[in-house]
Amino acid sequence: MPAFCDLCFPGGPITPVPPINANALQLLVVDDSAMVRQVMQAILSTDRRIVVKTAADPIIAWGKMQKERPDVVITDLEMPRMDGLTFIRRIMAEMPLPVVVCSGLAARGTELGLRALEEGAVEVITKPKVAVREFLHESAVTLVDAVWSASQAQLRPRMQPAPRLTADAVLPRKSQASTFAAPRNVIAVGASTGGTEALRVFLGALPTGCPPVVIVQHMPEVFTRAFAERLNKECAIDIAEAKNGDRLRDGLALIAPGNRHMLVNRSGDDFVIQILDGPLVSRHRPSVDVLFRSVAISVGAKAVGVIMTGMGDDGAEGLGEMKEAGAITIAQDEASCVVFGMPKEAIARGAVDAVMPLEQIARAVLNLQSRSCANSL
């Protein structure tokens, strides 16, 4: 019978390479499945800058952490002796450090994953599909990127937006007609690490009559739907996971489904969503670059582009294309980012018109859109 890694990696087994220096990133993987620990260690150890250690449950992990503090922890959520949420709370209370949740995609796990982000985890990623060869390259990209992204995260307390009550709290709204006027403008947003919190603050500040918002948040499939449903309960505007053929309208924000690219296309006077498969673009699917390029082509100068917290450069090129098409472009500032990578890269490329704190972006976007509408009259 072939060795375990022969089954997992096309081309034969991968032997972990020792770190090239003493300053390597120290990673602790916590999962009760020996197979998952083995696969993750094999994948992550191919990066010579990472030293991977493992633990079978949070109790064992906590003991190891007392002896040697890791730089990043990857943890499952459903484990013996202590569940993952309790483990994350303990880490944040007694030894704050970046935590990445590695979870399956069951419906129950989805809700737990979102709760983990609220408790302080910086990323939620999908467990490697150990029996699917074609998944392993993308799995390696996701795991390595998540670890390095987490290692750069600035841990900060959860921000609480001001309550936004509407008449819905007393009287249900009347059913809306199925026809909507085509929007004059479109707001396109890209985010990654730390973006779930940033989007909660941004979307929570938008009024019901705001221009439509299209969003790429790097997040696994299924999680995006639960994330959109949760935001929809908290915010004044309507928020949903995007579906192929959705038409943009004022007061609606659409979030790209995990593991699918999202585009905005023009159809007559309307803007329509297209959801499609495709390769990783800028190391991601969905990709912010893909969304921003489609907005540059279809919406042009009537758009505003916003690049938020996240590691890497996804969105930098697309934001530049939006700017060249006449759109106004905004980047979240370093102080309010969990990871400043994506905004920093966009700024360095000259793709950004304005840099500002997260709390100011919604107001700035609305002001810019109001001026654009006035100028078009």
**d(C-alpha 206, C-alpha 204), whole Å:** 6
CB 136 within 8 A of CB 43: yes
Which member of 314, 333, 336, 372 is catalytic?
314
Distance separating alpha carbons of residues 372 and 354, to the nearest angstrom: 16
Catalytic annotation, pick one of 218, 284, 313, 372: 218
End-to-end CA distance of the chain, in Å? 72
Catalytic residue among 103, 139, 151, 192: 192
Distance between CA 269 and CA 318 in Å, rounded?
23
User: What DSSP element (H or E) covers 297?
Assistant: helix 288-298
**Catalytic residue flag (residue 218):** yes
Contacts (Cβ under 8 Å, ≥6 apart) of 157: none
DSSP state of 353: S
Nearest to 226 by CA among 144, 116, 342: 116
Closest CA to 256 of 268, 270, 239: 239
Residues 6+ apart with CB under 8 A from 109: 77, 78, 103
Alpha-carbon gap, residue 122 to 155, rounded angstroms: 8
Cα angle: 194, vertex 231, 78; to 5 degrees: 65
What the block records as the tokens of 316 is 């930098």
Q: Which residues are catalytic?
A: 192, 218, 314
